[in-house]
């Protein structure tokens, strides 16, 4: 699948000066919600991801996504795999699983995001699921920002990747953009201000 083209066609590959949730700056931003607003495309992406997971022989009982970003991708993946879907959400900054979702002892959980950058939120969701008795069997995302090593890619993970090495990470593509510390950002040096994606209608 031509994931980059799908993002471009949906105007979901934004160019500008962005403040990422990590505090770093980037010239590009992937707005997956714009891709997933089309349920047919969401379904096709999820089927491709489900096929990779099944081909790798990973057994899954339940998909768990960190809200809000991972929910649409995770729900579609759960549908493709014919599995249950739950989500984790932040309450006062802390990731929790609430709303009556339960996890059985030994339940096989796959954590799904829309995009994995360093995997921080995915890892937090995984830890909550583990504390409830779940076993993390894998991570998945529509796209990998190039910090973590995904199954089937030559791109090596970086030290900043937070995902563990002992479970597989599945994604459909690598989008490797430079990100900058604010003090070293060339866009800041040009005098523009980094904006938080979503805060000004993007």
The contact set with Zn ion (CB under 5 A) reads: 25, 185, 187-188, 194
Give the nearer residue to Zn ion in terms of CB position, either 93 or 191. Answer: 191
The nearest distance, CB 188 to Zn ion, in angstroms, is 4
Q: Which residue is nearest to Zn ion (CB)?
A: 185
The nearest distance, CB 17 to Zn ion, in angstroms, is 6
Q: What are phi and psi of 121, to 5 degrees?
A: -65, -40
Give the nearer residue to Zn ion in terms of CB position, either 23 or 39. Answer: 23
Contacts made by residues 147-152, CB under 8 angstroms, sequence distance 24+: 147/116, 147/117, 147/118, 147/119, 148/116, 148/118, 148/119, 150/174, 151/52, 151/56, 152/52
What is the Cα–Cα distance from 78 to 62, expressed in whole angstroms? 7
The nearest distance, CB 183 to Zn ion, in angstroms, is 9
Give the nearer residue to Zn ion in terms of CB position, either 15 or 59. Answer: 15
The nearest distance, CB 28 to Zn ion, in angstroms, is 12
Residue 74 makes CB contacts below 8 A (sequence gap 6+) with 63, 64, 65, 85, 87, 112, 113
Give the nearer residue to Zn ion in terms of CB position, either 25 or 150. Answer: 25
DSSP bridge pairs for 180: 25
Establish whether the linkage from the previous residue to 169 is cis, with ω within 30° of 0.
Answer: no
The nearest distance, CB 200 to Zn ion, in angstroms, is 15
Strand order of the sheet with strand 169-174? 94-96, 84-91, 62-66, 108-116, 135-144, 169-174
The nearest distance, CB 117 to Zn ion, in angstroms, is 16
What is the Cα–Cα distance from 27 to 18, expressed in whole angstroms? 6
Give the nearer residue to Zn ion in terms of CB position, either 133 or 198. Answer: 198
Give the nearer residue to Zn ion in terms of CB position, either 1 or 195. Answer: 195
């Amino acid at each position: 699948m031509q994931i980059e083209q799908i993002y471009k066609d949906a105007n979901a590959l934004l160019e500008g000066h962005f403040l990422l949730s990590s505090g770093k700056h980037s010239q590009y931003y992937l707005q997956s919600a714009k891709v997933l607003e089309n349920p047919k495309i969401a379904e096709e992406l999820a089927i491709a991801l489900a096929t990779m997971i099944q081909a790798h022989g990973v057994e899954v009982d339940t998909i768990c996504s960190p809200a809000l970003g991972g929910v649409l991708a995770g729900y579609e993946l759960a549908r493709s795999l014919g599995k249950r879907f739950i989500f984790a959400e932040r309450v006062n900054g802390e990731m929790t699983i609430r709303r009556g979702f339960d996890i059985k002892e030994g339940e096989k959980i796959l954590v799904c995001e829309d995009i994995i950058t360093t995997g921080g939120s995915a890892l937090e969701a995984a830890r909550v699921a583990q504390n409830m008795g779940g076993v993390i069997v894998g991570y998945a995302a529509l796209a990998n920002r190039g910090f973590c090593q995904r199954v089937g890619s030559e791109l090596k993970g970086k030290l900043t990747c937070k995902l563990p090495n002992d479970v597989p990470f599945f994604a459909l593509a690598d989008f490797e953009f430079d990100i900058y510390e604010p003090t070293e950002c060339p866009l800041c040096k040009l005098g523009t201000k980094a904006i938080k994606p979503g805060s000004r209608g993007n």
